Amino acid sequence: MEKREQMYEGKAKKVFATDNENYCIVSYKDDATAFNGLKKGTIAGKGVVNNRMSNYLMQLLEKQGIPTHFVEELNDRETVVKKVKIVPLEVIVRNTAAGSFSKRFGVAEGTKLLCPTLEFCYKDDDLGDPMVNDYHIIACGWATKEDLDTITDYTFKINSFLVDFFKKINVDLIDFKIEFGKTSDGQIILADEISPDTCRFWDATTHEKLDKDRFRRDMGSVEEAYQEMMKRIFG
Ligand code: UDP
């Protein structure tokens, strides 16, 4: 696979074209942002953790019947992925109240929810990624009813699998955000990343935060938290 021109640079990743029109190469950076880009910083080694963790989880999810964008890990920071058109939705699953859920609904952080919840946010930085419902999504054409049903079905399966996976390494999966894309032949697949940038991980015993909230909230030991997650997954 030959790496060609840079197609896009986001907050935490760069995307390059390849000599195969169906594939791109993602390169994970150590740059971190929060609060819609207002807070900026660097988390040393984050790109490596996010690349390796994300790839590992996507391969496990594939075995569970979830199609993903993963193709091949090239090195610590770079991965070949299937080229997709991103469905412009942040798909958020919550098992325990935290973050914006706690703020919006006045439910204390750490309150276990009676069942997993699903939220969609329309991906638009200028609008601050507003929360939307199924009707908004279908009415505005961000996804069809059929695609939304597929996304919903995959998302709850992904949550069940991930909750069990992290439980085994003594981590509670509090909530997470995923994104889906559509391939040129119309298949909905899991895209983007699953990492401490996009999930809330709490140690199941001490409830210590092992994710990007340490950066967002200036809690210190940010690098250490990412490395701890890496160590628990890969030993
Ligand atoms: N999240 C994300 N990207 C975003 C917003 C949220 O990856 O742009 C993740 C976040 O890490 C958390 C979950 O989605 O695991 C729920 O985040 P929440 O809505 O509570 O927002 P926050 O409190 O992070 O602003």
Nearest in space to 181 (alpha carbons), one of 59, 57, 81, 38: 81
Q: Which residues pair with 33 in a beta bridge?
A: 40
Give the whole-angstrom CA distance, residue 199 versus residue 178.
Answer: 9
Report the CATH number that the domain containing residue 230 is assigned in CATH.
Answer: 3.30.470.20
**Full residue range of the structural domain in which residue 145 is found:** 85-234
**Domain end residue (candidates: 28, 47, 82):** 82
Q: Is 33 exposed, middle or buried (0-12, 13-18, 19+ CB in 10 A)?
A: middle
- Same structural domain for residues 74 and 143? no
Residue 53 contacts residue 79 (beta carbons within 8 Å) = no
For the segment 191-214, what is each residue's pLDDT rounded down to a tens digit?
999 999 999 999 999 999 999 999
What's the confidence (pLDDT) of residue 1?
84
- Same structural domain for residues 64 and 98? no
Instruction: Please tell me the residue having the least CA distance from ligand 1 atom 19.
Output: 100
CA dihedral 143→34→83→124, nearest 10 degrees, is: 30
- Same structural domain for residues 115 and 135? yes
Q: How many CB atoms neighbour CB 35 within 10 A?
A: 9
Mark out the alpha helices in 64-218 (DSSP H runs): 99-105, 134-140, 145-167, 213-216
For residue 60, give Cα distances in angstroms to 54, 63, 83, 161: 10, 5, 20, 9
Give the whole-angstrom CA distance, residue 129 versus residue 90.
Answer: 8
- Same structural domain for residues 158 and 228? yes
Give the whole-angstrom CA distance, residue 3 versus residue 80.
Answer: 10
119 lines ligand 1 (CB under 6 A): no
77 lines ligand 1 (CB under 6 A): no
**Domain end residue (candidates: 18, 47, 82):** 82
Q: Is 63 exposed, middle or buried (0-12, 13-18, 19+ CB in 10 A)?
A: exposed
Encoding tokens for residue 187?
A: 């298949």
- In this structure, which amino acid lies at residue 202? W
- Ligand 1 pocket mutation pick from 36, 43, 92, 109 by most atoms within 8 angstroms of CB: 92
Taking the chain (235 residues) in consecutive chunks of 10 residues, what is each chunk's mean pLDDT?
95 97 98 96 98 98 98 98 98 99 98 98 97 98 98 99 99 99 98 98 98 98 98 97
- Same structural domain for residues 66 and 89? no
Give the whole-angstrom CA distance, residue 194 versus residue 56.
Answer: 10
pTM: 0.97
Using the atom order of ligand 1, give the atom closest to the CA of residue 36: 8
- Same structural domain for residues 127 and 210? yes
176 lines ligand 1 (CB under 6 A): yes
What's the confidence (pLDDT) of residue 99?
98
194 lines ligand 1 (CB under 6 A): no
